[in-house]
Amino acid sequence: MSTAAEAPINNNALTVLSEDEEQFRTAVREFAEGEVRPKVETMEHNSKLDADLIKQCFELGLMAIESPEEYGGAGSSIFNAIIAIEELARVDASVSVFVDVHNTLVTNAFLKWGSTELKKKYMPQLASGRVGAYALSEASSGSDAFALKTKAADKGDHWELNGQKLWITNGNEAEIFIVFATIDADAGYKGITAFIVEKGFAGFTVGKKEDKLGIRASSTTELIFDGCKVPKENVLGEVGKGYKVSIETLNEGRIGIAAQMLGIAQGAYECALKYTAEREQFGSALNSFQAVQFQLAEMAVEIEATRLLVYNAARLKDAGRSFLKEAAVAKLYASRCAEAVASKAIELYGGYGYVKDYPVEKYWRDSKIGSIYEGTSNMQLQTIAKLIMSGK
């Protein structure tokens, strides 16, 4: 497969990085190129993440970027988290989303909503080797995220969960799950509560893994709760306030998905640059033709615009400023960019782009999920429209 390991790291005006951020990006890129890239084809074929890579992600601190140092983390920023997500996705989107969900959804939820006791118990585990997953979606609860059927009943000394979750990223690897269930269906979204469920809890099983178009090495599974016993202290946040946990966590998660899509676009673009420089037609390299140059230029423009949107949303979050609209805009635009750039890369490769011996068809397949998970493109448009109409 063609690669672009030698491609320069972007460092333009509004995307300029501090020295520490630049060093961190370089370290993640070295890991992605040296350790992840050689295993991409095997992971894709096996539809499974490499176990050694999972271990390395923990050892390198990629699974605890925002976690405070007192819990074994780096005590760093969402910006560094999205740098890692972007760089990993440039090589493999499955490893990228594995790191993304653990950081921007699971760790983020514990940071904001966990009690002191829950943080002390679970965050060191999430930093040192136990994978996290975030379980909100159900068969009848996708964009209508609060139409939950999974129920939680108060049994006095414990909670009992019954129901099923679908489309859960990291389902096979995770040992710690944040699960959303309703304690009162008649209360609507005000009955939703977030629970911390461990893989070994009685009554909890991980179901089938989905056979997907893209991000095939990432496990996307169903979760089954059949009288699952959850300790009373394992409520994340307040009883009946799970909707706030989910909404506010997903806002940060969307920046992570936008970064993943940015990385996919960058990876596909670099492959196209390299291929069009090497491939000859009519006695000249493909990139000597103006028509090809213009297509490469259009791809570069879209990627640069996407990078500005993604980085801006992350900077706002780190600054403690409002970022809801910016996160929605970044995710919407980044998903469109990734799909368009990967598609154009396939066309520039010609027939070779359509076969699995070359990398660009995988970038395109991996890009498609960007317009679907953690809020579809239509839901991002709805969020943006509401904020515009409200004058915000």
Cβ partners under 8 Å of residue 276, min gap 6: 285, 286, 287, 292, 296, 348
Enter the tokens of residue 107. Answer: 């760790």
DSSP 103: I
Surface-to-core class of residue 207, CB atoms within 10 Å of its CB (0-12 exposed, 13-18 middle, 19+ buried): middle
- Amino acid code (one letter) for 40: V
| Residue among 46, 45, 106 nearest 81 (CA) | 106
State the Cα–Cα distance between residues 230 and 248, nearest whole angstrom.
Answer: 24
State the Cα–Cα distance between residues 219 and 49, nearest whole angstrom.
Answer: 8
Instruction: Number of helices (H) and strands (E) in the chain: give both, helices first.
Output: 12, 10
State the Cα–Cα distance between residues 140 and 264, nearest whole angstrom.
Answer: 30
Examine the residue annotation and report whether 374 is marked as an active-site residue of this protein.
yes
What does the CA dihedral 259, 264, 265, 266 come to, rounded to 10 degrees?
A: 90
DSSP 372: T
The residues with which 284 forms a beta bridge, in sequence order, are 281
Surface-to-core class of residue 9, CB atoms within 10 Å of its CB (0-12 exposed, 13-18 middle, 19+ buried): exposed
Q: Do residues 180 and 151 make contact, with C-beta atoms less than 8 angstroms apart?
A: no
The residue with tokens 């910016």 is: 326
Q: Do residues 233 and 118 make contact, with C-beta atoms less than 8 angstroms apart?
A: yes
User: How many CB atoms are closer than 10 A to CB 294?
Assistant: 10
Q: Is the dihedral of CA 44, 49, 52, 57 positive or negative?
A: positive
Exposure pattern of 89-114 as b/e (b: 16+ CB <10 Å)? bbbbbbbbbbbbbbbbbbbbbbbebb
CA 110 to chain centre: 17
The residue with tokens 């060191």 is: 124
Catalytic residue set: 374
